[in-house]
Structure 1
Amino acid sequence: MSDATPAAAAVEQPAVHDRSIGAIIAETRNLSADQVARVLAYQQEKNVRFGEAAIALGFASADDVMFALAQQFHYPAALGKESAHADLVTLNQPYGPQAEFFRALRSQVIMRVFPEGQSTRQALAVVSANRGDGKSFVAANLAVCLAQLGGRTLLVDADMRSPRLHELFTVSNDVGLSGILAGRATGRLVQTVTAVPGLFVLPVGAVPPNPLELIERPAFGLLMRELIGKFDYVIVDTPAADQGADALVVANRCGAALPLARRDASTLDGVRHLVRSMQDAGVNVTGAVFNDHS
């Protein structure tokens, strides 16, 4: 055990947000000592910031500078590193219009589903009428945005028909929700997402032959109550409503649902029927999202 004081340890190994923009850029771009010296000389000569000087000399890009700023402000982003899955727009293009949309959606979700002081806590199921509407895309990016606030966020893959979340976040799918509900769960179940501090994923695991029966077991409701109590935010991906009653059952156990409609695919009658069925089941329907992501 080290006898170093916390202050001494901080000096010896500074946290990312305590490091300068220049130090982060130099590490990200693997700049040599000579290149760093040239950037510093240009910076002094032109009276500009390190990032501007590095860009002017061709040693860094604007994305590298934004990545360094993101590190200082505790804002997870894939800029400057190997890109995340293309669907994770909140990581790959954190300052683009799609990411801004998800931040706005996050604000609405927090006010409607996760308000401060709420006596009865809920999870949020992302639902839609048809396959391909973008439930996994929306659930994943919304979860990233929630985790970026600093709260512990759990993303549950309850689509035991066509699971995708393990692919989006590159986590193991050997065990997961299906194993828990079948009483066969062993090993590591809830997995951390290294690129996004505070984000956790519970994948499906083995795709079962009886997904609806597993979801309808009391074990799923008990599990959701336990998870809601352990995490600040719980987002749940679901199968399409036209594949069975899974989505309705999941939403009922979560307490709240976010319906999706897709451009040039969803019908008004289909969305109305989905929302009505959720409301009839006592689900808090939080509005609707129109998804035009291809």
Structure 2
Amino acid sequence: MKFGEAAIALGFASPDDVLHALAQQFNYSYGGAATEKTSPELAVLNQPFSQQAEAFRAIRAQILLRTQPGSVEGAPRIKKALAVVSPNTGDGKTYFCANLAVSLAQLGGRTLIVDADLRGPRLHGVFGVDAKSGLSGLLAGRRGDSVIRAVPGVANLFVLPVGISPPNPLELLQGPAFGLLLHELLTKFDHVVVDTPAAQYGADGVVAAARCGVALIVARKDQARLQALQELVQNLSAVNAQVAGVVMNEF
């Protein structure tokens, strides 16, 4: 019997205690029971050995192989941000972004997740960070204290929330400030993941993907329509955004 299993059987430790000990021993983030109550959507953090967590690790590997500079012979060596887009609201895009960012941070590289959903931001609630100021203020030219927040309990993971939702989201994303900001962020972080509004709300997601350079499409199984996915892929291709793939969400 393994040491941890023996400790649990004898009543000296709980399964959560053993998982915390293993997380420290092998240097990966684990949320545990407390985080599961406050951030139930973070499957990779709360249930690191679950089927969902393994699925995110598999997707992470595919994304890095397809998009990391120099990972494929002949591929461009310019580092790019990853925009996560979806055709409809409710596809699970923010859930996917959050868990993908956690899995990237667990590799040890500095990871930033940017909430560019200026119409319906949710990432600050998922990670439990302050959202009084954020991306909207930066794009509008207001600079003050640092708006990038470290995620409590997750090493190497940072969040740039939206802040105050603006009345002109598309104009802010389409302006030059967003592209310049991404360029600066890519010099400071190993991975930059960008959450965007669903395509049904307008061109925000496509514009953000054009600035990022790489897009990943998330669609909900048994709900997404093929025509909507085809139109989204065509729009991304029209702005020269590399489509890394399409993920069907069953959660």
Q: TM-score higher than 0.5 here?
A: yes
Any conservation in 2 of the 1:130–1:240 contact (CA below 8 Å)? yes
CA distance in 2, matches of 1:179, 1:68: 41
Aligned match of 2:23 = 70
Aligned match of 1:183 = 141
Q: Which segments of 5 or more consecutive residues in structure 2 lack a partner in the other structure?
A: none
| Alpha-carbon distance, 1:256 to partner | 0.3
Query: Given the alignment of the two structures, is residue 134 of structure 1 paired with residue 92 of structure 2, yes or no?
Result: yes
Output the amino acid matched with 1:259: I
Output the amino acid matched with 1:214: L
Any conservation in 1 of the 2:135–2:163 contact (CA below 8 Å)? yes
Query: Given the alignment of the two structures, is residue 193 of structure 1 paired with residue 147 of structure 2, yes or no?
Result: no
Runs of 4 or more consecutive aligned structure 1 residues displaced over 4 Å after TM superposition: none
Task: Report 1:59-138 matches (<5 A).
Answer: 59-79=12-32, 81-83=34-36, 84-116=38-70, 119-138=77-96
SS across alignment from 1:287 = strand
Output the amino acid matched with 1:187: D
CA distance in 2, matches of 1:200, 1:52: 34
TM-score (norm 1): 0.80
Output the amino acid matched with 2:92: G
Larger Rg: 1
| Alpha-carbon distance, 1:115 to partner | 3.6
| Alpha-carbon distance, 1:228 to partner | 1.3
Task: Report 1:2-17 matches (<5 A).
Answer: none
Q: Which segments of 5 or more consecutive residues in structure 1 lack a partner in the other structure?
A: 1-47
Say what the alpha-carbon RMSD is for the aligned residues: 1.4
CA distance in 1, matches of 2:3, 2:222: 47
**Corresponding residue pairs, total:** 246
Any conservation in 2 of the 1:176–1:185 contact (CA below 8 Å)? no
Q: Which has the higher contact order (CA 8 A, sep 6+)?
A: 2
TM-score (norm 2): 0.94
CA distance in 1, matches of 2:31, 2:51: 16
Output the amino acid matched with 1:88: L
- For residues 41-81 of structure 1, give each alpha carbon's deviation from its aligned partner in whole angstroms, at most 9, with x where no partner exists: xxxxxxx6553332122232233212211111111011264
